[in-house]
Amino acid sequence: MLELIAKTDIVDAVAKRLGKLKGNKDAVAETIENNVRSKIIKEHLNDPAYYEKMSALLAEIIEARRTKAIAYEEYLKRIAALAKHVEAGHADDTPEQLKKSPALRALYNNLKGTVPKAEHGGKAAEPSSQYGPPGDPALRLALRLDEAIRASRPDAWHGVQAREQVIKRALYDVLKDAAEVERIFVIVKAHSTSNV
């Protein structure tokens, strides 16, 4: 359903997939919401920060619909936009170099809220600016972590504690914070079959 909404207009998607519910606006809305919620739950471990944001937006849209704070047509526009972002796995303002790498994008999204303190004399201070644009410390840190992981990861590391420790050490060398390493490692491990 979400793929169809992302590729076509929501009205077309509803007509094609939910034609039998066409007259029941609440049933159509709940079906779309359940599809969006299901995708959010499925993808949450891959990128907790992004999908928590999507979940909050979904809750806001649902609440607006239930309280009749928005018209049904406005609801359809908002839920369609949300469905497209959930299906794509990234927002419109995602830096271009992250759009093709879900693993790198997940690092970026989950570092955004924590990097500024690190960038200003904290534990993950950066020795140079070779890692991305100067105005985006989360992007620079995500690129540094990605490089460190790629340079150190052993083959078939997923699920092998000694090999996972190699990845954690690479993360620690950049982050200098054991708690942050554990938080980020969960995301790296969720993407272990992808490029990171």
Residues 6 or more apart from 195 whose CB is under 8 A from it? 101, 103, 104
pLDDT of 147 over the 80 cut: yes
pLDDT of 125 over the 60 cut: no
Q: What angle do CA 50, 54, 59 make, to 5 degrees?
A: 150
pLDDT of residue 79: 92
| Residue labelled with tokens 């969720």 | 190
Tokens of 35: 């599809």
CB 60 within 8 A of CB 74: no
Q: Residue ranges of the alpha helices (H) in the chain?
A: 2-7, 10-17, 25-43, 48-66, 72-88, 102-111, 115-119, 137-152, 161-175, 178-190
pLDDT digits (tens, 9 = 90+) for 84-101: 999 888 888 888 888 888
Residues 6 or more apart from 131 whose CB is under 8 A from it? 139, 140, 141, 143, 144, 147
Q: Is the pTM of this model over 0.85?
A: no
In which band, very low, low, confident or very high, does the pLDDT at 193 lie, cut at 50, 70 and 90? low
pLDDT of residue 122: 46
Give burial (CB, 10 Å; 0-12/13-18/19+) of 21.
middle
All structural domains of the chain with their residue ranges: 2-88, 96-190
pLDDT of residue 143: 94
Give burial (CB, 10 Å; 0-12/13-18/19+) of 42.
exposed
Averaged pLDDT, 20-33: 84
Q: What percent of the chain has pLDDT over 90?
A: 54
Nearest-angstrom CA–CA distance, 182 and 67: 41
pLDDT digits (tens, 9 = 90+) for 103-117: 999 999 999 877 644
In which band, very low, low, confident or very high, does the pLDDT at 13 lie, cut at 50, 70 and 90? confident
| Rg from Cα positions in the chain | 20
In which band, very low, low, confident or very high, does the pLDDT at 9 lie, cut at 50, 70 and 90? confident
pLDDT of residue 134: 58
Tokens of 10: 């929501």
